[in-house]
């Protein structure tokens, strides 16, 4: 199916996809060679844990990433599940990107362990795609001591399918070596797609697969026969157009080199669900994580979102966009708490997430704040002064949240007395709490 005998031209194989094999698990085995011979997974080992990465020894037992740890251990009782060391993975990822960058600067990372690259810029260097792909694999192996699969094709769709085919695979419970590098020649594209289940296409998950099933669409061949308008009624017009394109082997997505982050956040599923004041404390902890990440990136966020997943697995989100950006822990914690207050409780909290978006460069935010500076007053110079303006505006924002959602109509478990009567939390040091003669924010409720 793939041709490895002659090296295609850049026109026939401009897009390369590299995917590191069992990345997290492989790094753990490099850091501790005694783990090599045994089935290993990286992830949470508790009741609510999920395995994020699995070595090939464990895959022989049918364990794969994304699987709950309970199920994984059922399939493989000898499975060793170790916690992740993400700084290590990030360090390896940086080295990986550096190796790709030596091949071409036109590359696009996906997560820590995958990269798309556009090789067209190498035309003048007379680089041949297969030669480049093999050299890339060699360098990843020699310098990082990691294995990877490389795919080459006309577009991202086929390059990704190809790299998957390049990797080791399990056959009859045994690990088989893959070819390492696979090129999908344009002449063979149709054959590649023909038998492929729709689930193998990028963007088709369980929900879309099920919707397509209702239309009788299971394979890419089925997809080609279906009317796009009919498809759109089930999966939306955007997804319909994408899928129809894929079914014809068309993928307009380019390699995007500098993809600026649009949001960041932190969420955590608790080993034991939280109630009452513990939830508020968790918001404070998340605020610390998020604000540090914002400062590290030298941006401030105008939008904050809070996600709460209850024990019944229902999720609720609340978000608030400010006219200015924030990056300090206290401000984010206060806003997060206001958002939390606005969510009607449905019992114990299983997962809490806090996310920041609508980034503004820190310097630009300062300019914005100066605009808001009262007439005739001096422009803020030192940080403390600037901070105060933020607090004033922030207080308004918190009031806005409370006004919008009618906070008094809802009480957290922590604020309920034994009879379910709301007890006001005493927070004399809270700069955002009610002030004397100030009843803003209390617009509804019993």
Partner DNA sequence: TCTGGGGTCCTAGGACCC
265 lies in the site for DNA, by CB under 7 A: yes
Which of 4, 9, 131, 315 is in the footprint of DNA by CB under 7 A? 315
User: For the residues of 69-85, what is the DSSP string, one character each?
Assistant: HHHHHHH-TT-EEE---
The stretch near DNA (CB under 7 A) out of 100-108, 244-252, 257-265, 327-335 is 257-265
* Closest among 268, 327, 321, 267 to 296, alpha carbons compared: 327
Token pair listed for 284? 């404070």
Angle between helices 277-296 and 329-341 in degrees, nearest 10: 140
Active site residue 114: yes
In 10 A of CB 51, how many CB atoms? 26
Cα 369 to Cα 269: distance, rounded to the nearest angstrom: 36
Which of 173, 206, 374, 420 is in the footprint of DNA by CB under 7 A? 206
- Which residue in the list 28, 108, 114, 189 is annotated as catalytic? 114
Distances (CA, A) of 278 to 5, 282, 284, 350, 422: 63, 6, 10, 12, 17
In 10 A of CB 122, how many CB atoms? 18
User: For the residues of 160-200, what is the DSSP string, one character each?
Assistant: HHHHHHHS-EEETTEEE---SEEE--GGGHHHHHHT-BGGG
204 lies in the site for DNA, by CB under 7 A: yes
Cα 396 to Cα 33: distance, rounded to the nearest angstrom: 56
The stretch near DNA (CB under 7 A) out of 188-196, 259-267, 376-384, 435-443 is 259-267
Q: Which is nearer to DNA, 6 or 47 (CB)?
A: 47
Cα 239 to Cα 229: distance, rounded to the nearest angstrom: 11
303 lies in the site for DNA, by CB under 7 A: yes
Which of 67, 133, 162, 274 is in the footprint of DNA by CB under 7 A? 67
318 lies in the site for DNA, by CB under 7 A: yes
Q: Which is nearer to DNA, 252 or 445 (CB)?
A: 252
- φ, ψ of residue 12 to 5 degrees: the values are -90, -10
Q: Which is nearer to DNA, 66 or 431 (CB)?
A: 66
End-to-end CA distance of the chain: give it in Å, rounded.
71
66 lies in the site for DNA, by CB under 7 A: yes
Q: Which is nearer to DNA, 9 or 317 (CB)?
A: 317
Cα 181 to Cα 7: distance, rounded to the nearest angstrom: 12
The stretch near DNA (CB under 7 A) out of 27-35, 140-148, 195-203, 246-254 is 195-203
Q: Which is nearer to DNA, 205 or 417 (CB)?
A: 205
Site string for DNA, 344-363 (x = CB under 7 A): ------xx-x-x-xx-----
Which 12-31 residues touch DNA, going by CB under 7 A?
Answer: none
Tell me if 152 sits within 8 A of 15, measured CB to CB.
yes
388 lies in the site for DNA, by CB under 7 A: no
Which 268-297 residues touch DNA, going by CB under 7 A?
Answer: 268-269, 289, 293
In 10 A of CB 393, how many CB atoms? 18
Q: Which is nearer to DNA, 2 or 65 (CB)?
A: 65
The stretch near DNA (CB under 7 A) out of 96-104, 171-179, 312-320, 370-378 is 312-320
Active-site residue numbers? 114
Residue ranges that bind DNA, judged by CB under 7 A = 43-44, 47-50, 52, 65-68, 70-71, 110-114, 160, 201-209, 236-239, 261-269, 289, 293, 302-303, 305, 313, 315-321, 350-351, 353, 355, 357-358
């Amino acid at each position: 199916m793939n041709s490895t005998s002659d090296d295609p031209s850049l026109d026939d194989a401009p897009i390369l996809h590299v995917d590191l094999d069992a990345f997290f698990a492989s790094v753990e085995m490099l850091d501790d060679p005694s783990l090599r011979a045994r089935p290993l997974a990286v992830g949470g080992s508790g009741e609510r844990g999920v395995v994020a990465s699995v070595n090939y020894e464990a895959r022989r037992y049918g364990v794969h990433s994304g699987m709950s740890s309970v199920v994984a251990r059922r399939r493989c009782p000898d499975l060793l599940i170790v916690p992740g060391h993400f700084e290590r993975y990030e360090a390896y990822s940086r080295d990986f990107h550096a190796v790709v960058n030596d091949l071409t600067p036109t590359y696009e990372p996906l997560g820590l362990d995958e990269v798309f690259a556009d090789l067209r810029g190498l035309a003048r260097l007379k680089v041949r795609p297969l030669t480049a792909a093999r050299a890339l694999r060699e360098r990843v192996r020699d310098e990082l001591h990691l294995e990877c699969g490389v795919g080459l094709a006309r577009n991202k769709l086929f390059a990704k399918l190809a790299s998957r085919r390049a990797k080791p695979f399990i056959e009859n419970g045994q690990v088989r070596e893959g070819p390492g590098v696979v090129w999908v020649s344009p002449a063979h594209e149709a054959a590649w797609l023909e038998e492929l289940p729709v689930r193998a296409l990028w963007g088709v998950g369980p929900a879309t697969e099920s919707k397509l099933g209702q239309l009788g669409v299971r394979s890419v061949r089925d997809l080609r026969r279906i009317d796009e308008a009919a498809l759109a009624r089930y999966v939306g017009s955007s997804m319909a157009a994408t899928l129809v394109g894929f079914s014809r082997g068309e993928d307009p997505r380019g390699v995007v080199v500098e993809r600026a982050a649009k949001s960041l956040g932190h969420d955590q599923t608790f080993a034991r669900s939280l109630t009452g004041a513990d939830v508020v404390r968790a918001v404070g902890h998340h605020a610390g994580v998020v604000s540090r990440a914002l400062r590290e990136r030298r941006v401030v966020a105008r939008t904050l979102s809070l996600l709460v997943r209850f024990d019944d697995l229902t999720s609720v989100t609340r978000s608030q966009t400010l006219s200015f950006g924030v990056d300090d822990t206290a401000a984010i914690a206060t806003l997060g708490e206001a958002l939390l207050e606005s969510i009607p409780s449905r019992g114990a909290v299983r997962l809490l997430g806090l996310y920041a978006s609508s980034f503004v460069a820190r310097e630009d935010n300062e300019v914005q704040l100066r605009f808001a500076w009262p007439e005739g007053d001096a422009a803020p110079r030192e940080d403390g002064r600037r901070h105060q303006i933020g607090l004033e505006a922030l207080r308004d924002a918190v009031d806005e949240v409370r006004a919008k959602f009618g906070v008094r109509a809802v009480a957290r478990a922590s604020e309920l007395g034994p009879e379910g009567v709301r007890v006001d939390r005493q927070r004399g040091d809270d700069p955002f709490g009610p002030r004397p003669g100030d009843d803003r924010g209390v617009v509804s409720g019993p």
